[in-house]
Chain A
Amino acid sequence: MATQVLMPALSPTMEEGTLAKWLVKEGDAVKSGQIIAEIETDKATMEFEAVDEGTVGRILVAEGTAGVKVNTPIAVLVEEGESVSDAAVAAPAAPAPVAAQPAEVAAAPAAAAPARSRPRPAGRTATCPRVFRPGP
Protein backbone atom coordinates (compact mmCIF):
# COMPACT_ATOMS: atom_id res chain seq x y z
CA MET A 1 0.00 0.00 0.00
CA ALA A 2 1.33 3.41 -0.89
CA THR A 3 2.09 5.67 2.07
CA GLN A 4 2.13 9.42 2.08
CA VAL A 5 5.11 11.27 3.46
CA LEU A 6 3.88 14.34 5.31
CA MET A 7 5.59 17.65 5.98
CA PRO A 8 6.87 17.23 9.53
CA ALA A 9 6.70 19.63 12.46
CA LEU A 10 10.32 19.76 13.59
CA SER A 11 9.92 22.00 16.61
CA PRO A 12 7.16 22.66 19.13
CA THR A 13 6.23 25.91 17.40
CA MET A 14 6.65 25.07 13.72
CA GLU A 15 3.56 25.53 11.56
CA GLU A 16 5.12 25.65 8.12
CA GLY A 17 8.54 25.27 6.59
CA THR A 18 10.58 25.27 3.41
CA LEU A 19 11.35 22.07 1.58
CA ALA A 20 14.95 23.05 1.07
CA LYS A 21 16.28 19.97 -0.69
CA TRP A 22 15.31 16.48 -1.76
CA LEU A 23 18.06 13.91 -1.20
CA VAL A 24 16.13 11.22 -3.09
CA LYS A 25 14.40 11.22 -6.44
CA GLU A 26 11.42 9.36 -7.84
CA GLY A 27 12.22 5.68 -8.25
CA ASP A 28 14.83 5.59 -5.47
CA ALA A 29 14.56 2.89 -2.81
CA VAL A 30 14.33 4.28 0.72
CA LYS A 31 15.19 2.56 4.01
CA SER A 32 13.73 3.61 7.33
CA GLY A 33 16.15 5.96 9.02
CA GLN A 34 17.50 7.24 5.71
CA ILE A 35 17.71 11.01 5.35
CA ILE A 36 15.46 11.88 2.44
CA ALA A 37 15.11 15.64 2.58
CA GLU A 38 16.27 18.83 4.22
CA ILE A 39 13.56 20.96 5.75
CA GLU A 40 14.10 24.54 6.74
CA THR A 41 12.18 25.79 9.76
CA ASP A 42 12.13 29.31 11.12
CA LYS A 43 15.06 28.29 13.29
CA ALA A 44 17.27 25.87 11.43
CA THR A 45 17.68 23.46 8.55
CA MET A 46 16.84 19.95 9.70
CA GLU A 47 17.41 16.57 8.14
CA PHE A 48 14.23 14.60 7.59
CA GLU A 49 14.39 10.82 7.90
CA ALA A 50 12.10 8.26 6.33
CA VAL A 51 10.11 6.13 8.76
CA ASP A 52 8.69 3.64 6.29
CA GLU A 53 10.58 1.57 3.78
CA GLY A 54 9.70 1.67 0.14
CA THR A 55 10.37 3.32 -3.16
CA VAL A 56 9.77 6.96 -3.85
CA GLY A 57 6.74 6.81 -6.12
CA ARG A 58 6.09 10.48 -6.51
CA ILE A 59 7.48 13.71 -5.19
CA LEU A 60 4.55 16.06 -4.62
CA VAL A 61 6.33 19.19 -3.43
CA ALA A 62 9.32 20.42 -5.36
CA GLU A 63 12.51 21.43 -3.55
CA GLY A 64 12.81 25.10 -2.84
CA THR A 65 9.11 25.37 -2.04
CA ALA A 66 8.52 27.66 0.93
CA GLY A 67 5.53 27.96 3.22
CA VAL A 68 4.65 24.26 3.17
CA LYS A 69 2.15 23.69 5.99
CA VAL A 70 2.83 20.91 8.50
CA ASN A 71 1.09 17.66 7.53
CA THR A 72 0.91 18.50 3.82
CA PRO A 73 1.73 15.36 1.79
CA ILE A 74 5.13 15.95 0.20
CA ALA A 75 5.78 12.56 -1.39
CA VAL A 76 4.32 9.10 -1.88
CA LEU A 77 6.20 5.91 -1.01
CA VAL A 78 5.24 2.65 -2.68
CA GLU A 79 5.96 -0.76 -1.20
CA GLU A 80 8.01 -3.59 -2.57
CA GLY A 81 6.11 -5.18 -5.46
CA GLU A 82 4.16 -2.08 -6.35
CA SER A 83 5.36 -0.27 -9.43
CA VAL A 84 6.08 3.43 -9.43
CA SER A 85 3.16 3.97 -11.77
CA ASP A 86 0.85 2.56 -9.05
CA ALA A 87 1.69 5.64 -7.03
CA ALA A 88 0.01 7.83 -9.58
CA VAL A 89 -3.13 5.82 -8.98
CA ALA A 90 -2.67 5.81 -5.22
CA ALA A 91 -2.08 9.51 -4.73
CA PRO A 92 -5.39 10.86 -6.03
CA ALA A 93 -7.21 8.18 -4.03
CA ALA A 94 -5.94 9.94 -0.91
CA PRO A 95 -7.76 13.05 0.35
CA ALA A 96 -8.69 15.28 -2.55
CA PRO A 97 -6.37 18.25 -1.99
CA VAL A 98 -3.26 16.12 -2.42
CA ALA A 99 -2.85 16.76 -6.11
CA ALA A 100 -3.94 20.37 -6.02
CA GLN A 101 -2.03 21.44 -2.94
CA PRO A 102 1.54 21.31 -4.21
CA ALA A 103 0.66 23.62 -7.06
CA GLU A 104 -0.98 26.10 -4.71
CA VAL A 105 1.92 25.91 -2.36
CA ALA A 106 4.37 26.43 -5.15
CA ALA A 107 2.54 29.52 -6.27
CA ALA A 108 2.11 31.00 -2.85
CA PRO A 109 5.54 30.98 -1.21
CA ALA A 110 6.88 34.38 -2.18
CA ALA A 111 3.89 36.10 -0.67
CA ALA A 112 3.37 33.74 2.24
CA ALA A 113 6.90 33.33 3.50
CA PRO A 114 7.68 36.72 5.04
CA ALA A 115 4.40 36.94 6.95
CA ARG A 116 4.98 34.96 10.11
CA SER A 117 1.71 33.54 11.33
CA ARG A 118 2.73 33.73 14.96
CA PRO A 119 5.49 35.96 16.30
CA ARG A 120 8.17 34.16 18.22
CA PRO A 121 7.70 34.82 21.93
CA ALA A 122 10.22 37.31 23.26
CA GLY A 123 12.92 35.89 25.47
CA ARG A 124 13.00 32.50 23.74
CA THR A 125 16.18 32.26 21.77
CA ALA A 126 16.66 28.93 20.10
CA THR A 127 20.42 29.08 20.21
CA CYS A 128 20.60 29.70 23.97
CA PRO A 129 22.07 26.61 25.60
CA ARG A 130 19.93 25.29 28.42
CA VAL A 131 22.28 23.77 30.86
CA PHE A 132 19.91 22.43 33.44
CA ARG A 133 16.95 21.61 31.28
CA PRO A 134 16.65 19.04 28.56
CA GLY A 135 16.03 21.70 25.95
CA PRO A 136 13.65 21.98 23.08
Chain B
Amino acid sequence: MARKPEAKPNVSKDELLQYYREMLLIRRFEEKAGQLYGMGLIGGFCHLYIGQEAVVVGLEAAAKDGDKRLTSYRDHGHMLACGMDPRGVMAELTGRIGGYSKGKGGSMHMFSKEKHFYGGHGIVGAQVPLGAGLAFADRYKGNDNVTFTYFGDGAANQGQVYETYNMAELWDLPVIFVIENNQYAMGTSVKRSTKSTTLFGRGLAYGIPGEQVDGMDVLAVKAAGEKAVAHCRAGKGPYILEMMTYRYRGHSMSDPAKYRTREEVEKIKSEKDCIEQVRDLLVQGGHASDEDLKAIDKEIKALVNEAAEFSKESPEPDLSELWTDIYA
Protein backbone atom coordinates (compact mmCIF):
# COMPACT_ATOMS: atom_id res chain seq x y z
CA MET B 1 0.00 0.00 0.00
CA ALA B 2 1.58 3.26 -1.06
CA ARG B 3 -0.56 5.50 1.14
CA LYS B 4 1.61 7.23 3.71
CA PRO B 5 -0.33 9.40 6.11
CA GLU B 6 1.65 12.21 7.72
CA ALA B 7 2.95 11.20 11.11
CA LYS B 8 0.73 13.30 13.33
CA PRO B 9 -1.59 15.78 11.72
CA ASN B 10 -2.91 18.45 14.04
CA VAL B 11 -6.50 17.33 13.95
CA SER B 12 -8.88 15.97 16.54
CA LYS B 13 -10.50 12.57 16.58
CA ASP B 14 -13.97 14.13 16.34
CA GLU B 15 -13.01 16.08 13.25
CA LEU B 16 -11.57 13.01 11.54
CA LEU B 17 -14.66 10.98 12.36
CA GLN B 18 -16.87 13.75 11.00
CA TYR B 19 -14.97 13.85 7.68
CA TYR B 20 -15.03 10.08 7.47
CA ARG B 21 -18.78 9.99 7.96
CA GLU B 22 -19.50 12.81 5.52
CA MET B 23 -17.31 11.44 2.75
CA LEU B 24 -18.67 7.94 3.24
CA LEU B 25 -22.25 9.24 3.08
CA ILE B 26 -21.54 10.83 -0.31
CA ARG B 27 -19.87 7.70 -1.65
CA ARG B 28 -22.58 5.30 -0.50
CA PHE B 29 -25.28 7.67 -1.67
CA GLU B 30 -23.73 7.88 -5.11
CA GLU B 31 -23.29 4.13 -5.35
CA LYS B 32 -26.96 3.74 -4.47
CA ALA B 33 -27.92 6.37 -7.04
CA GLY B 34 -25.94 4.45 -9.64
CA GLN B 35 -27.82 1.31 -8.67
CA LEU B 36 -31.24 3.01 -8.87
CA TYR B 37 -30.25 4.39 -12.26
CA GLY B 38 -29.42 0.85 -13.33
CA MET B 39 -32.88 -0.24 -12.26
CA GLY B 40 -34.46 2.42 -14.43
CA LEU B 41 -35.73 4.44 -11.45
CA ILE B 42 -33.69 7.51 -12.37
CA GLY B 43 -34.24 9.00 -15.79
CA GLY B 44 -32.12 11.30 -17.92
CA PHE B 45 -28.58 12.24 -16.98
CA CYS B 46 -26.79 11.28 -13.81
CA HIS B 47 -23.23 12.34 -12.95
CA LEU B 48 -21.67 10.71 -9.92
CA TYR B 49 -19.19 12.35 -7.54
CA ILE B 50 -17.41 9.17 -6.44
CA GLY B 51 -13.69 9.86 -5.86
CA GLN B 52 -13.99 13.62 -5.37
CA GLU B 53 -15.62 13.60 -1.90
CA ALA B 54 -12.73 15.27 -0.05
CA VAL B 55 -13.20 18.51 -2.01
CA VAL B 56 -16.67 19.40 -0.78
CA VAL B 57 -16.25 17.91 2.69
CA GLY B 58 -12.98 19.79 3.29
CA LEU B 59 -14.33 23.09 2.04
CA GLU B 60 -17.59 22.82 3.99
CA ALA B 61 -15.42 22.36 7.08
CA ALA B 62 -13.96 25.80 6.35
CA ALA B 63 -17.35 27.47 5.79
CA LYS B 64 -19.66 29.17 8.25
CA ASP B 65 -23.41 29.61 8.36
CA GLY B 66 -24.49 32.12 5.74
CA ASP B 67 -21.84 31.16 3.19
CA LYS B 68 -23.19 30.15 -0.19
CA ARG B 69 -22.29 27.48 -2.68
CA LEU B 70 -23.23 26.54 -6.22
CA THR B 71 -21.86 24.14 -8.77
CA SER B 72 -22.40 22.39 -12.08
CA TYR B 73 -24.40 19.23 -12.74
CA ARG B 74 -22.11 16.89 -10.76
CA ASP B 75 -23.84 18.21 -7.69
CA HIS B 76 -25.07 15.47 -5.35
CA GLY B 77 -21.95 15.59 -3.16
CA HIS B 78 -22.17 19.35 -2.69
CA MET B 79 -25.73 19.07 -1.46
CA LEU B 80 -25.04 16.30 1.02
CA ALA B 81 -21.91 18.09 2.29
CA CYS B 82 -23.80 21.30 3.07
CA GLY B 83 -26.36 19.38 5.08
CA MET B 84 -29.23 18.88 2.66
CA ASP B 85 -31.43 15.87 3.39
CA PRO B 86 -30.34 12.72 1.50
CA ARG B 87 -34.01 11.73 1.19
CA GLY B 88 -34.90 14.96 -0.62
CA VAL B 89 -31.91 14.63 -2.95
CA MET B 90 -32.60 10.98 -3.80
CA ALA B 91 -36.32 11.65 -4.33
CA GLU B 92 -35.42 14.42 -6.77
CA LEU B 93 -33.25 11.95 -8.67
CA THR B 94 -36.21 9.60 -9.01
CA GLY B 95 -38.49 12.49 -10.02
CA ARG B 96 -40.79 12.37 -6.99
CA ILE B 97 -42.76 15.08 -5.20
CA GLY B 98 -40.59 14.64 -2.07
CA GLY B 99 -37.53 15.86 -3.98
CA TYR B 100 -35.94 19.28 -3.52
CA SER B 101 -37.47 20.53 -6.78
CA LYS B 102 -40.71 18.55 -6.34
CA GLY B 103 -39.40 15.99 -8.80
CA LYS B 104 -39.28 18.46 -11.65
CA GLY B 105 -35.59 19.33 -11.66
CA GLY B 106 -33.84 15.99 -11.51
CA SER B 107 -30.18 15.33 -10.84
CA MET B 108 -28.86 18.60 -12.22
CA HIS B 109 -31.38 21.09 -10.83
CA MET B 110 -31.80 21.27 -7.08
CA PHE B 111 -31.71 24.21 -4.70
CA SER B 112 -31.99 24.91 -0.99
CA LYS B 113 -32.54 28.39 0.34
CA GLU B 114 -32.17 27.12 3.87
CA LYS B 115 -28.71 25.66 3.21
CA HIS B 116 -27.71 28.43 0.79
CA PHE B 117 -27.24 25.97 -2.03
CA TYR B 118 -27.86 27.77 -5.31
CA GLY B 119 -27.85 24.81 -7.71
CA GLY B 120 -27.09 22.40 -9.65
CA HIS B 121 -26.59 23.95 -13.16
CA GLY B 122 -26.75 22.06 -16.44
CA ILE B 123 -24.91 24.53 -18.65
CA VAL B 124 -21.15 24.11 -18.40
CA GLY B 125 -19.58 27.14 -16.73
CA ALA B 126 -22.80 29.15 -16.45
CA GLN B 127 -22.76 28.98 -12.66
CA VAL B 128 -19.47 30.91 -12.51
CA PRO B 129 -20.91 34.40 -13.23
CA LEU B 130 -23.91 33.50 -11.05
CA GLY B 131 -21.54 32.82 -8.17
CA ALA B 132 -19.94 36.21 -8.64
CA GLY B 133 -23.43 37.72 -8.59
CA LEU B 134 -24.21 36.09 -5.24
CA ALA B 135 -20.93 37.41 -3.89
CA PHE B 136 -21.79 40.85 -5.26
CA ALA B 137 -25.02 40.80 -3.23
CA ASP B 138 -23.13 39.99 -0.03
CA ARG B 139 -20.58 42.71 -0.70
CA TYR B 140 -23.41 45.17 -1.35
CA LYS B 141 -25.10 44.20 1.92
CA GLY B 142 -21.82 44.56 3.75
CA ASN B 143 -21.81 41.17 5.47
CA ASP B 144 -18.82 38.81 5.55
CA ASN B 145 -20.33 35.82 3.75
CA VAL B 146 -18.37 34.13 1.00
CA THR B 147 -19.59 32.17 -2.02
CA PHE B 148 -17.98 28.89 -3.09
CA THR B 149 -18.29 28.71 -6.86
CA TYR B 150 -17.36 25.25 -8.10
CA PHE B 151 -16.56 24.34 -11.71
CA GLY B 152 -14.51 21.75 -13.53
CA ASP B 153 -11.34 21.73 -15.60
CA GLY B 154 -13.47 21.66 -18.75
CA ALA B 155 -15.41 24.77 -17.79
CA ALA B 156 -12.09 26.47 -16.99
CA ASN B 157 -11.61 26.93 -20.74
CA GLN B 158 -14.80 28.97 -21.11
CA GLY B 159 -14.75 32.67 -21.84
CA GLN B 160 -17.37 33.58 -19.25
CA VAL B 161 -15.04 32.34 -16.51
CA TYR B 162 -12.49 35.02 -17.42
CA GLU B 163 -15.05 37.80 -17.76
CA THR B 164 -16.14 36.82 -14.27
CA TYR B 165 -12.55 36.80 -12.96
CA ASN B 166 -12.10 40.32 -14.25
CA MET B 167 -15.21 41.74 -12.59
CA ALA B 168 -14.79 39.75 -9.38
CA GLU B 169 -11.31 41.14 -8.83
CA LEU B 170 -12.29 44.63 -9.96
CA TRP B 171 -15.01 44.78 -7.30
CA ASP B 172 -13.20 42.70 -4.66
CA LEU B 173 -16.04 40.19 -4.55
CA PRO B 174 -15.93 37.59 -1.77
CA VAL B 175 -16.02 34.59 -4.06
CA ILE B 176 -13.84 31.48 -3.97
CA PHE B 177 -13.48 29.93 -7.39
CA VAL B 178 -13.03 26.21 -6.80
CA ILE B 179 -11.74 24.40 -9.87
CA GLU B 180 -12.41 20.70 -9.38
CA ASN B 181 -9.69 19.45 -11.69
CA ASN B 182 -10.58 15.77 -12.10
CA GLN B 183 -8.36 15.76 -15.19
CA TYR B 184 -11.02 14.89 -17.73
CA ALA B 185 -13.56 17.20 -19.37
CA MET B 186 -15.98 14.44 -20.30
CA GLY B 187 -13.43 12.30 -22.18
CA THR B 188 -10.81 14.96 -22.96
CA SER B 189 -7.79 15.11 -20.69
CA VAL B 190 -6.52 18.51 -19.57
CA LYS B 191 -3.33 18.02 -21.57
CA ARG B 192 -5.31 17.55 -24.76
CA SER B 193 -7.36 20.72 -24.30
CA THR B 194 -4.81 23.33 -23.17
CA LYS B 195 -1.10 24.08 -22.95
CA SER B 196 -1.75 26.20 -19.87
CA THR B 197 -2.37 23.24 -17.57
CA THR B 198 -1.86 25.04 -14.27
CA LEU B 199 -5.40 26.29 -14.19
CA PHE B 200 -5.28 28.43 -11.04
CA GLY B 201 -2.38 30.40 -12.52
CA ARG B 202 -4.65 31.99 -15.09
CA GLY B 203 -6.18 34.11 -12.31
CA LEU B 204 -2.88 35.92 -11.87
CA ALA B 205 -3.52 37.79 -15.12
CA TYR B 206 -6.50 39.38 -13.38
CA GLY B 207 -4.75 39.86 -10.05
CA ILE B 208 -6.47 36.94 -8.34
CA PRO B 209 -4.27 34.85 -6.07
CA GLY B 210 -4.69 31.10 -5.96
CA GLU B 211 -3.07 27.76 -5.39
CA GLN B 212 -3.15 24.12 -6.34
CA VAL B 213 -4.32 21.73 -3.61
CA ASP B 214 -4.23 17.95 -3.15
CA GLY B 215 -7.95 17.46 -3.54
CA MET B 216 -7.77 13.84 -2.40
CA ASP B 217 -6.59 14.92 1.08
CA VAL B 218 -9.46 16.33 3.09
CA LEU B 219 -7.13 17.99 5.62
CA ALA B 220 -5.18 19.78 2.90
CA VAL B 221 -8.46 20.90 1.35
CA LYS B 222 -9.72 22.28 4.64
CA ALA B 223 -6.47 24.14 5.31
CA ALA B 224 -6.51 25.73 1.86
CA GLY B 225 -10.20 26.53 2.27
CA GLU B 226 -9.55 28.36 5.53
CA LYS B 227 -6.86 30.44 3.88
CA ALA B 228 -9.12 31.36 0.96
CA VAL B 229 -12.05 32.12 3.25
CA ALA B 230 -9.90 34.42 5.41
CA HIS B 231 -8.77 36.26 2.28
CA CYS B 232 -12.36 36.81 1.15
CA ARG B 233 -13.76 37.75 4.55
CA ALA B 234 -11.03 40.34 4.96
CA GLY B 235 -12.40 42.12 1.89
CA LYS B 236 -9.39 41.30 -0.29
CA GLY B 237 -11.46 39.96 -3.19
CA PRO B 238 -11.64 36.57 -4.85
CA TYR B 239 -9.35 33.55 -4.48
CA ILE B 240 -8.83 30.48 -6.69
CA LEU B 241 -8.42 26.95 -5.37
CA GLU B 242 -7.48 24.35 -7.95
CA MET B 243 -8.39 21.02 -6.41
CA MET B 244 -6.45 18.15 -7.97
CA THR B 245 -8.94 15.33 -7.80
CA TYR B 246 -10.17 12.31 -9.72
CA ARG B 247 -13.51 10.77 -10.55
CA TYR B 248 -13.64 7.00 -10.40
CA ARG B 249 -16.74 6.57 -12.55
CA GLY B 250 -17.37 7.73 -16.08
CA HIS B 251 -18.42 11.28 -16.86
CA SER B 252 -22.02 10.13 -16.63
CA MET B 253 -23.76 6.81 -16.23
CA SER B 254 -23.46 5.96 -19.92
CA ASP B 255 -19.78 6.81 -20.31
CA PRO B 256 -17.65 3.68 -20.68
CA ALA B 257 -14.54 5.79 -19.93
CA LYS B 258 -12.31 4.17 -22.53
CA TYR B 259 -10.12 7.26 -22.69
CA ARG B 260 -8.14 6.12 -19.65
CA THR B 261 -6.79 2.77 -18.53
CA ARG B 262 -8.21 0.64 -15.76
CA GLU B 263 -4.71 0.67 -14.23
CA GLU B 264 -4.78 4.47 -13.99
CA VAL B 265 -8.06 4.37 -12.08
CA GLU B 266 -6.94 1.51 -9.83
CA LYS B 267 -3.68 3.30 -9.00
CA ILE B 268 -5.52 6.37 -7.71
CA LYS B 269 -8.04 4.25 -5.84
CA SER B 270 -5.37 2.28 -4.03
CA GLU B 271 -2.91 5.09 -3.40
CA LYS B 272 -4.94 8.27 -3.03
CA ASP B 273 -8.50 7.43 -2.02
CA CYS B 274 -9.77 10.21 0.24
CA ILE B 275 -11.84 7.98 2.50
CA GLU B 276 -9.10 5.38 2.94
CA GLN B 277 -6.66 8.15 3.87
CA VAL B 278 -8.85 9.28 6.76
CA ARG B 279 -9.50 5.68 7.69
CA ASP B 280 -5.76 5.13 7.98
CA LEU B 281 -5.40 8.22 10.19
CA LEU B 282 -8.21 7.03 12.45
CA VAL B 283 -6.86 3.51 12.82
CA GLN B 284 -3.16 4.35 13.06
CA GLY B 285 -3.83 7.19 15.48
CA GLY B 286 -5.70 4.77 17.71
CA HIS B 287 -8.89 6.83 17.37
CA ALA B 288 -11.08 4.05 16.05
CA SER B 289 -11.03 0.29 15.80
CA ASP B 290 -12.15 -1.70 12.80
CA GLU B 291 -15.35 -2.45 14.72
CA ASP B 292 -16.02 1.27 15.30
CA LEU B 293 -15.61 1.96 11.61
CA LYS B 294 -17.79 -0.98 10.67
CA ALA B 295 -20.51 0.43 12.92
CA ILE B 296 -20.25 3.78 11.12
CA ASP B 297 -20.39 2.03 7.74
CA LYS B 298 -23.56 0.29 8.83
CA GLU B 299 -25.12 3.50 10.09
CA ILE B 300 -24.37 5.32 6.82
CA LYS B 301 -25.71 2.41 4.79
CA ALA B 302 -28.96 2.54 6.76
CA LEU B 303 -29.24 6.28 6.11
CA VAL B 304 -28.75 5.77 2.38
CA ASN B 305 -31.17 2.86 2.24
CA GLU B 306 -33.75 4.98 4.01
CA ALA B 307 -33.24 7.72 1.39
CA ALA B 308 -33.62 5.14 -1.37
CA GLU B 309 -36.85 3.80 0.15
CA PHE B 310 -38.22 7.32 0.48
CA SER B 311 -37.32 8.05 -3.13
CA LYS B 312 -39.31 5.02 -4.28
CA GLU B 313 -42.33 5.59 -2.03
CA SER B 314 -42.75 9.32 -2.54
CA PRO B 315 -45.40 9.81 -5.25
CA GLU B 316 -44.75 11.33 -8.65
CA PRO B 317 -45.79 14.99 -8.89
CA ASP B 318 -49.43 15.64 -9.74
CA LEU B 319 -50.15 16.74 -13.30
CA SER B 320 -51.21 20.17 -11.99
CA GLU B 321 -47.57 20.70 -10.98
CA LEU B 322 -46.81 21.17 -14.68
CA TRP B 323 -48.11 24.71 -14.32
CA THR B 324 -46.32 25.70 -11.12
CA ASP B 325 -42.83 27.17 -10.61
CA ILE B 326 -42.65 28.53 -14.15
CA TYR B 327 -42.29 31.99 -15.58
CA ALA B 328 -44.93 33.56 -17.85
Closest A residue, CB atoms, query B254: A11
From A6, A35, A51, A134, give the contact of B45 (CB < 8 A). A134
Closest A residue, CB atoms, query B41: A9
Select the stretch in B27-35, B220-228, B279-287 that faces chain A.
B27-35
Please determine whether A134 and B39 come into contact, CB atoms closer than 8 angstroms. Answer: no
- Residues in B23-58 with C-beta less than 8 Å from chain A: 28, 31-32, 34-35, 37-40, 43-45, 47, 50
Residues of A within 8 A of B262 (CB): 35, 47
Closest A residue, CB atoms, query B269: A33
Cα separation A33 to B188 with both chains bound (whole Å) = 24
Residues of B within 8 A of A71 (CB): 39-40
What distance in Å separates the Cβ of A50 from its nearest Cβ neighbour in chain B?
A: 9
Q: Mark A30-56, 1 if CB is under 8 A from B, else 0.
A: 001101000001011111010100000
Cα separation A131 to B251 with both chains bound (whole Å) = 13
Please determine whether A6 and B256 come into contact, CB atoms closer than 8 angstroms. Answer: no
- Residues in A51-82 with C-beta less than 8 Å from chain B: 51, 70-71
What distance in Å separates the Cβ of B302 from its nearest Cβ neighbour in chain A?
A: 14
> How many chain-B residues does the 8 Å CB contact rule pick out?
36
What distance in Å separates the Cβ of B317 from its nearest Cβ neighbour in chain A?
A: 20
CB-CB under 8 A for A45 and B256, given A129-B186, A135-B186: yes
From B28, B40, B47, B123, give the contact of A132 (CB < 8 A). B123
Please determine whether B254 and A136 come into contact, CB atoms closer than 8 angstroms. Answer: yes
- Residues in A8-44 with C-beta less than 8 Å from chain B: 8-12, 14, 32-33, 35, 41, 43-44
14 intermolecular pairs with C-beta atoms under 8 Å apart: A6-B39, A10-B38, A10-B254, A45-B256, A46-B250, A51-B32, A51-B34, A70-B38, A133-B122, A134-B45, A134-B47, A134-B122, A135-B251, A135-B255
Which chain B residues have a beta carbon within 8 Å of chain A's beta carbons?
A: 28, 31-32, 34-35, 37-40, 43-45, 47, 50, 72-73, 108, 122-124, 186-188, 248-258, 262, 269
Which chain A residues have a beta carbon within 8 Å of chain B's beta carbons?
A: 6, 8-12, 14, 32-33, 35, 41, 43-47, 49, 51, 70-71, 126, 129-136
